A and B are shown apart, each in its own frame.
Chain A
């Protein structure tokens, strides 16, 4: 590559990094009032539920967290395909960011779900199809991160992780469908119903509005963490590539 072309590509990379920083800051600042509004909607605006009373309000952060986890794993899936096609490390950074932030929100969904289950199902945990498939999904993406940590060479790590990022996604639709296909006590609020569900309820219009605000707030927070983790990974790749080149040279 000529000196002029190299400097043009560096300028373009720097412009892209600045744009990403602007997006990250916008998402970060937007998430603060949105989360405050979502808390207000969840605790004050939405009415108590007829049978569960107040505890159902966990739902307003539980479901958006689960959707954010799916979004994170979808980012990993798409970025992994893009990496294998282009071999550009920026896709690898998006893939690892999607997995890590996806694990965070899956953990949030599991823990908040557990707090909801204790009074409604009378247990913190049960090996119900939805909970079992979620656990498998969570462990699969933990394994994805462990695989990445086990390989030092950047190109090999990115390639193997991309393959795993694609395969791991196979379980994600299964988690969504598990409460629709199998006999489970987990409620289904959208796209079907579940006669065996415990803790099922009909969404009143004000509950739906509180859910929508919670969804937007948590997706914005998800976007903020995702972009910030992408930038961290880009800096780490820069550092590791130099380490690796030093050792090779």
Chain B
């Protein structure tokens, strides 16, 4: 039976979508925090 024809395909794909949402969400959150810290560090070194 093909993947899409399976009666539980929605749960299988739902699980993998959830995986990628969590992983990419965390990657995005890390990026945002890194940018914020680097912005502050740059401001500080400019003040000095």
Contacts and interface: CB of A to CB of B under 8 A. Distances in A.
Contacts of A108: 18-19, 22-23
Q: Classify chain B's interface size.
A: 20 to 34
A154 B6 CA distance: 53
Interface string A52-91: 1111011001100100000000000000000000000000
A222 to B, nearest CB: 10
Interface in A1-19: none
A39 B3 CA distance: 13
Interface of A: 39, 43, 48, 52-55, 57-58, 61-62, 65, 104, 107-108, 111-112, 115-116, 118-119, 221, 225, 228-229, 232, 235-236, 238-239, 242
30 contacts: A53-B1, A54-B3, A54-B8, A55-B8, A55-B11, A57-B12, A58-B11, A58-B16, A61-B16, A62-B15, A65-B19, A104-B23, A104-B26, A107-B22, A108-B19, A108-B23, A111-B19, A112-B15, A112-B16, A115-B11, A115-B12, A115-B18, A119-B11, A221-B23, A225-B27, A228-B34, A232-B30, A232-B33, A239-B37, A242-B44
Q: Closest 9 interchain pairs by CB?
A: A115-B15, A55-B8, A54-B6, A119-B8, A58-B15, A112-B15, A111-B18, A235-B37, A55-B12
